[in-house]
Structure 1
Amino acid sequence: MKEFIEYILQFGNLNQQQIDLITKKATELNLRKDEYFSEAGKIAQQVGFVLDGVIRVCYYNNKGEEITKYFIDENNLVVDMESFDNEICSNAYVQAITDCKLLVFSKQDWRELLDTIVGWDAIVHKIISKALRQKVERRSPLVSEDATTRYLMFLKIYPNVINRIPLSYVASYLGITQSSLSRIRKNIC
């Protein structure tokens, strides 16, 4: 819980009473490798904060191929915000790719925090804005670069992830085949 409180205090100030309320609303969730935090076709019901482990967000394209959009590791929020906020079915899967430990807030508890804590909505808005900026910063350069450069950028963006996840997910994220990724890795080392 300490990690989550430290994380949100980067985005705004809270008093002890507010921190106590947040602490009371959070529950711990353990996800086993390959379990889903939320699924396509369903409405996202919770907001999570990754304490330990790596999660990926993926979808299936019109050819039925699984595409990894991005990864979420420790000390980051995990939620399909569009589905969660607008009560619409998600188009992505949010899946644990290692065993994960998360702090989780139900939709009802999250809304109660928004209604009760003055400034909570501003903190949440700053967190979401930062996450969106990171997503764009991480994806935009990947589109125009060659595969080797994309892989090197991946290593810089996700330094704590590469040795913890299957290379097939890395290849999917980079938009290359696994054999191409193996060649790139062999040429770099």
Structure 2
Amino acid sequence: MKEFIDYILQFGTLNQHQIDLILTKATELEFNKDEYFSEAGKVSQQVGFVLDGIVRVCYYNNKGEEITKYFIEENNLVVDLESFDNEIPSTAYVQATTDCKLVVFSRKEWKELLDTIIPWEAIVHKIISKALRQKVERRSPLVAEDATTRYLMFLDIYPNVVNRVPLSYVASYLGITQSSLSRIRKNIR
């Protein structure tokens, strides 16, 4: 839990009483590899913080192919924000790609923190803004590049991911086949 508190304190100031209250609302949960944190078609009910492991956000396109949108590593929040905030069914799956340990808040607990701790909303807003910026920065440069360049950029963006998740997920993220990814990896060694 210390990692979570250290993380949120980068975005604002809280007193010890506020920190203690946050900790009473948090639950530490473990998710096994391939287990879902939230699922498409269901309303997202929780906010998490990755203590250990890697989570991915994915969806199925109109051909039924699984597409990885992005990965979430340690020391980052995980939430399907649109579904959680608007209480609408999600369009994506949030899945553990490795065994994971997360700090989790239910919708009710998260709302109580927003209603009780005055600086909490501003802190959450800063965290979400940073996450959205990162998402755009990580995706945008990949769009116009060839597959090899996209893979090399992926290694820069996610240096701790490639050896921890199935290559099929990496290929899906890059928009290439797994055999193409294998060729690229072989050629750059």
TM-score w.r.t. length of structure 1: 0.99
Gapped runs of 5+ residues in structure 2?
none
- Residue 74 of structure 2 corresponds to which residue in structure 1? 74
RMSD: 0.4
State the 1:119 CA deviation.
Answer: 1.1
What pairs up with 1:1-189 in 2 under 5 angstroms?
1-189=1-189
Q: Distance in 2 between matches of 1:82 and 1:147?
A: 30
* Residues 122-162 of structure 1, C-alpha deviations (whole Å, 9 max, x = no match): 00000000000000000001100010110011001111111
Deviation for aligned residue 1:171:
0.1
Q: Distance in 2 between matches of 1:28 and 1:39?
A: 20
**Long gaps (5+) in structure 1:** none
Secondary structure, in 3 states, of the residue corresponding to 1:162?
Answer: coil
Using the size of structure 2 for normalisation, the TM-score is 0.99
Partner of 2:11, secondary structure, is coil
Distance 1:89 1:109 in 2: 20
Q: Distance in 2 between matches of 1:64 and 1:110?
A: 34
Alignment-mate amino acid for residue 139 of structure 2: R
